[in-house]
Chain A
Amino acid sequence: MGKVYDVIIIGAGAVGCAIARELSRYNISTLVLEKECDVAYGTSGRMSGVVHAGFNNKTGSLMAKLCVEGNRLFEGVCSELGIPYKKTGKVLVAFDEADMKVLEGIIERGKANGCEGLRLIGQDEIRAIAPGICGIGGMLSPNTAIFDPFEFCIAHAENAMDNGVDFSLESEVTAISRRNDTFYVTTPKGVFSSRFIVNSAGLYCDRISAMLGVDNYRIYPCRGQYYILDKVASDLLDIPAYPVPRPGIGGLGIHLTPTVDGNIIIGPSAEYLEDPDDYSTTPDVMDKLFSEAKALLPAIERKHIIGNYCGIRPKQAPPGEGGFRDFVIKEEEACPGLINLIGIESPGFTAAVPISFMVSDMLRKHIDLSPKTDFKAERKAPVRFRELSREEQEKLIKTDPEYGEIICRCQNVTRREIRDAIENRFGARSISAIKYRAWATTGRCNGGYCLAKIVDMLIHDYHMKPEEITYRGKGSELFSGEVK
C-alpha cells in the first residue's frame, strides 16, 4: 500500500479544484481523483458562466451567504490566477407591473442577503444599458459578472499542482472503505488511501456518500439545455439579461448571457431526468429556448445559432417540490473524516471559493494546517494571441514562428497556442482538452477548418494513431484508424 494522503478530493469540478487549491496552501498532502480525462467535464463545464450576486437565494441560507461572499472574492481570485472575468452587471427584465412588484421583493431580499447596489430601473435605463432588450423596466445588479468556467477549473487545478497537489484523472471512484481511521479508495488506477475524504462529486455526490454508508441523500438530475450564438451577434448584448424568476422547478428562467469570449448563450431549460449523464438536447425544448430568448431580445435570429449543449443540476428538491434546497456542507457524524458537499447547484460556482474555505476550516479542527512558506499564489494565464495588440503579436511571432500560423480561423488561434494546449499539465490529449484551453473548434465553423489540422498535429508531432484520438477521453474515439 502506497502513501496515505491527508486528504483525497473526489471530483475535479469547480468545487473540487477550488478546494485543491485552498488545501495546497498548507503543509498537508492532497490527491484529487477525477473519473474523466480532464477537469471541468461535469456541471462546471456546462453552465451559464455567471458570478451571481446573491439576491436569488433565501435569506439566511448557506447558498445566500456563500454566494455573496463568493461574488466579493471572485475578481481577486481571477486576477491572481489569470482567469478571464468581466464585471458586466446583470438586468432582470420586467414585462408588466406584476413583474416590477416581484423585483421590489427581490431587492429587499438581496439587501437582507448583503448584495450591494441593486435598484429598479425604468424602460429608458434598460434601453441605455441593453439596447436590444424588450421590457417595461427591470432591476440592475451591478456586481454580477461573467467569467470563463473552464479556465477557472484549469487555473485552480494547475495552481494546486504547482503547490504540490496530486491529480489522478480517468480515476473513477468505484468503492470506498474505512478501517482504522483510514479511507481506502478504489479506482481503475489502483487503491488510494487517505485520512480525510472530500466528496465534491457533483451529480454523483449521493452515490459517493452511500459508498461510505451515509445514504440519506438523493440527487435528482435536472437538465438545462443551451444554444450558443455566433460572435456576429455579440454586439446585440453585453450584459446578462434574465427574466423575472417565476416560482417553479428552481431555475432562473431562460436567459441570455454574453460569454467572456464574445458569444451569447441562451438557456437553460429545466427538466428532471432519471439519468445524470443524459446530455441530449430535445427539439421541443430547443424551440422553446429560442422563442423565449427572442421575446427578451428580438434581434436574435436562427442563423446566429452555432451550437448547443446541456448542463445538469444536482438538485436535492425532488420533482414536484421545486425550488432550491440549501447546500449541505458538513463532516458526517456517522462517518468521521468524510466531508460531504451535497446539492451544489447554482450558485455553486460562485460559491466555490468560500466553500473551499469552509472545508479547510473543517479540516483545521482535526489536523494542523500550517501554511506553506513557499506557496505560489499566482498562475500565469496562457497566451491569447487574438486579444493582443498588433505590436505584442509581432513580438510573439519573432519569439516563435508558430504564433504566425492561424490554425483556427474563426477564433484566430495560432499553432503555438494549440501546441501549448496539447502539452497541458494534465496530459489530457483529447480534442476537447484542446478546445477548452485554446478555444479552437469553438467558432462558427465548429472545427470545419481546424479539426483536420489539429488531428494532423496529434498524429505527426505527438505520434498518436488516429484510433487513439478521442473527443472527450476513453470511449469517445473519433476515428476507426488509418484509411490505408
Chain B
Amino acid sequence: MRSCDVLVIGGGPGGLAAACSAKKAGASSVIVLERDNRAGGILNQCIHDGFGLIRYNCELTGPEYAARAIREATDAGAEILLSRHVSEISKTDSGYCVSVYTKDGIEEYRTRTIVLATGCRERTRGNISIPGSRPAGVFTAGVAQNLVNVRNVMIGKRVVILGSGDIGLIMARRLTLEGAKVLAIAEIMSAPTGLARNVSQCVQEFGIPLYVKTTVSKIIGKRKLEAVELSDLDQNGKVIPGTARRIDCDALVLSVGLIPENEVAQTAGVKLFANNAVDTDRYLQTSVPGVFSCGNSRHVMDLADYVSEQGEMAGRNAVHLIRGEEMETWDEEKSNCMKKGFPEEGTVTCTVCPNGCQVKWDEKTGTFSGNRCKRGARFAEQEHNSPTRSVTTTVKTASGSLIPVRTAGRISKAHVFDVVEQLRKTKLDSGVIIGDEVLRTEIDGEDIRVVATQTSL
C-alpha cells in the first residue's frame, strides 16, 4: 500500500494541473491515478487547435496541450500512474483509502487529501428520448470524435448533427475534412450553444446549414439509420406539427450536452447537485472535508485553459488545508467572457483568443470596431486580404493507427483541402515524436510544413 499527501483521481488537464501545483506548493508526495494508458484525458482525442490561448498564449492542439500539462506535472515531481481505474474511496482515521483496479490486482492508496478530476460524459440519445427506431448509426459527438480521430473508424458519409455545442461543431468540420457530407446541424435553442468562433470556423466556413429552433423529431431505419426527420419547434420547445422534413443520412451525431462524471465521488459521499455537478465551497472543497473537485467533474466548463487554472487552485488548496493555511477562493464568473452563438452579420469573428470578438471593419474610414484588443484588428484585416488557417488532421502509420498532426503555423485558406488530401495519402512507417515533421510540400508556391502533435513510438 502506498501513501501520499495529495491523491489526484483523473489525469486530464484538471488533474494534471492539480498535481503539478500541489507538488509546487510543497506537498511531499503527489500521485495521479489515470484509468487510461495515456494521460491527458479527453484532450487526446481533441486533435483540433484552439487550446492554450489563455494559459500558454499560443494556439495548441488538444494532444499538444496534454503533452505540456503532463511534462509540467512530472517536472514538478508528481507521479502519474496509468491504467489504474479508481473504484472506491473510503474514510480512514487520518484521511482516505482509495481502491484501484489494475492488471496486477486491486491496489490501495492512503492519502490525506483527494482532488477529484474525473471529467464528464455525454448526454445520450437515451437521455433525451428521441422518438423513432433504434438503428445502427446514432453516435454521440465525443464517441464519433474518438472513433474518427483515434480508432480510424469512419462513422458515415452523410451526417446530420443534433445540437450545436462545441464538440458537435468541431465534429462538423472534422467529418467534412474527412470526406463526409454534413447535411444539417439542428439546434433546439434559438441560437447555437457553442462558441461563435466555432460556428464561424467549423460550420459557416464549410457552408453547413445550421437550423435553430429545430430538432430531430424522428429516427428512421429498422436496422441501419436511413433518415431523420427534422421539425421546427415552437416557443415551448414542442414540435410544430406539419413542419417535418426528411433528410436521408447514414449517421446521426448527438452533441446534446455533457454531464459531470462523479461515480467515484459518490462512493466518498460527496454531495452533488441535481445536474450531477459537485457542490463545492469557494475553495473547491466538496461536502467531504479534504476531498476537492475541479474541472468538468465539478462543473462542465467550456475551455481546457480554465479547467487547468481551476485544477491548480484545487491542488494548492489541498496543500493549504494540510498545513492549516488559508485557502484561495475560485471566481465563478471567470470563464464567461466568450461570445457564443451566431456571429454577428457583417463582422469577422476573431479567433486569436476564445473571446471571439465580432470585429467590424469600416472600409471607408479604415477603422475597426468590436475588437477588445489590437490583435483583433490585425486578424480582421488579414481575414479580409488573405485569410489563413491552421489545419489539423491525422496521418496513418504502418501499424494502422492514427497520429494527430497540424500545419506548422497557418497556411492560406485556399490550400486547406489540398493539404488534407496529401495527408490522407501520407503513410508513416516509423514512430514519431511530437513536433517531428511528417510532410513538407509546396502548394502554389506556398511552403507548407506539417508536424506530429503527439508522440507515438
Q: A451 CA to B222 CA in the complex, in Å?
A: 21
CB distance from B398 to the nearest CB of A (A): 13
Binds A, one of B48-56, B149-157, B305-313, B337-345: B149-157
A283 CB–B CB distance under 8 Å: yes
* Given A477-B136, A482-B152, A452:B131 Cβ within 8 A: no
Contacts of A308 in B (CB 8 A): 126, 129, 134
Contacts of B424 in A (CB 8 A): 484
Q: Is the CB of A405 within 8 A of B143?
A: no
Contacts of A393 in B (CB 8 A): 101, 106
Contacts of B126 in A (CB 8 A): 228, 305-308, 446
Q: Is the CB of B223 within 8 A of A306?
A: no
CB distance from A181 to the nearest CB of B (A): 38
Q: A444 CA to B276 CA in the complex, in Å?
A: 13
Select from chain B the residue with minimum beta-carbon distance to A460: B400
A448 CB–B CB distance under 8 Å: yes
Q: A452 CA to B144 CA in the complex, in Å?
A: 9
Q: A14 CA to B226 CA in the complex, in Å?
A: 30
Indicate with 1 or 0, residue by residue over A454-484, a CB within 8 angstroms of chain B CB atoms: 0110010000001000111111111111111
Q: Is the CB of B124 within 8 A of A448?
A: yes
Contacts of B35 in A (CB 8 A): 406, 409
* Given A397-B106, A445-B122, A452-B146, A483:B402 Cβ within 8 A: yes
Partner of A404, one of B103, B131, B137, B402: B103
Q: A469 CA to B142 CA in the complex, in Å?
A: 19
B363 CB–A CB distance under 8 Å: no
Select from chain A the residue with minimum beta-carbon distance to B132: A280
* Given A406-B35, A459-B151, A471:B106 Cβ within 8 A: no
Q: A122 CA to B88 CA in the complex, in Å?
A: 41
B102 CB–A CB distance under 8 Å: yes
Indicate with 1 or 0, residue by residue over B360-404, a CB within 8 angstroms of chain A CB atoms: 000000000000000000000000000000000011100000100
Indicate with 1 or 0, residue by residue over B262-273, a CB within 8 angstroms of chain A CB atoms: 010000000000
CB distance from B100 to the nearest CB of A (A): 10
Contacts of A282 in B (CB 8 A): 131
Indicate with 1 or 0, residue by residue over A24-48, a CB within 8 angstroms of chain B CB atoms: 0000000000000000000000000
Partner of A309, one of B134, B219, B223, B395: B134
Contacts of B217 in A (CB 8 A): 283
A398 CB–B CB distance under 8 Å: yes
Within 8 A of B (CB), among A370-398: 390, 393-394, 397-398
Q: Is the CB of A452 within 8 A of B143?
A: yes
Partner of A479, one of B127, B154, B222, B394: B154
Interface of B is mostly: mixed
Q: Is the CB of B101 within 8 A of A406?
A: yes
CB distance from A4 to the nearest CB of B (A): 34
Q: A290 CA to B104 CA in the complex, in Å?
A: 45
B250 CB–A CB distance under 8 Å: yes
* Given A277-B222, A303-B274, A397-B103, A455:B151 Cβ within 8 A: yes
A281 CB–B CB distance under 8 Å: yes
Q: Is the CB of A445 within 8 A of B121?
A: yes
* Given A307-B126, A476-B135, A279:B222 Cβ within 8 A: yes
Indicate with 1 or 0, residue by residue over B246-261, a CB within 8 angstroms of chain A CB atoms: 0000110000000000
Contacts of A262 in B (CB 8 A): none
Select from chain A the residue with minimum beta-carbon distance to B155: A479
Contacts of B445 in A (CB 8 A): none
Partner of B121, one of A405, A406, A449, A482: A449
Partner of B127, one of A306, A481, A482, A483: A306
Q: A286 CA to B129 CA in the complex, in Å?
A: 8
B148 CB–A CB distance under 8 Å: yes
Q: A198 CA to B402 CA in the complex, in Å?
A: 52
B324 CB–A CB distance under 8 Å: no
Contacts of B87 in A (CB 8 A): 406, 412
Q: A449 CA to B127 CA in the complex, in Å?
A: 15
Partner of B106, one of A307, A394, A472: A394
B239 CB–A CB distance under 8 Å: yes
CB distance from A150 to the nearest CB of B (A): 16
CB distance from A44 to the nearest CB of B (A): 17
Q: Is the CB of A466 within 8 A of B101?
A: no
Partner of B135, one of A307, A471, A474, A482: A471
Q: A484 CA to B83 CA in the complex, in Å?
A: 28
A401 CB–B CB distance under 8 Å: yes
* Given A305-B127, A476-B223, A484-B424, A452:B154 Cβ within 8 A: no
A447 CB–B CB distance under 8 Å: yes
Q: Is the CB of A484 within 8 A of B151?
A: no
CB distance from B233 to the nearest CB of A (A): 13
Within 8 A of A (CB), among B136-190: 136-137, 140, 142-143, 146-148, 150-157, 178
Select from chain B the residue with minimum beta-carbon distance to A228: B126
* Given A409-B263, A483-B152, A475:B105 Cβ within 8 A: no
Select from chain B the residue with minimum beta-carbon distance to A456: B151
Q: A444 CA to B274 CA in the complex, in Å?
A: 15
Q: Is the CB of B153 within 8 A of A479?
A: yes
CB distance from B109 to the nearest CB of A (A): 15
* 3 cross-chain pairs, A with B, having the tightest CB-CB distances, nearest first: A307-B126, A471-B136, A401-B103
Q: Mind listing 24 A-B residue pairs with CB under 8 Å?
A: A280-B132, A281-B133, A305-B126, A305-B129, A306-B124, A307-B126, A308-B129, A404-B102, A404-B103, A404-B105, A405-B85, A409-B35, A410-B263, A446-B125, A448-B143, A449-B121, A452-B151, A455-B151, A456-B151, A459-B153, A472-B136, A480-B155, A480-B157, A481-B154
Interfacial residues, chain A to chain B (CB-CB below 8 A): 227-228, 277-283, 286, 303, 305-309, 390, 393-394, 397-398, 401-402, 404-406, 409-410, 412, 444-449, 451-452, 455-456, 459, 466, 470-484
- Having A309-B134, A404-B106, A478-B136, one finds 11 other A-B pairs with CB under 8 Å, namely A280-B133, A282-B131, A308-B134, A393-B106, A448-B121, A455-B147, A475-B223, A476-B135, A476-B223, A479-B155, A482-B154
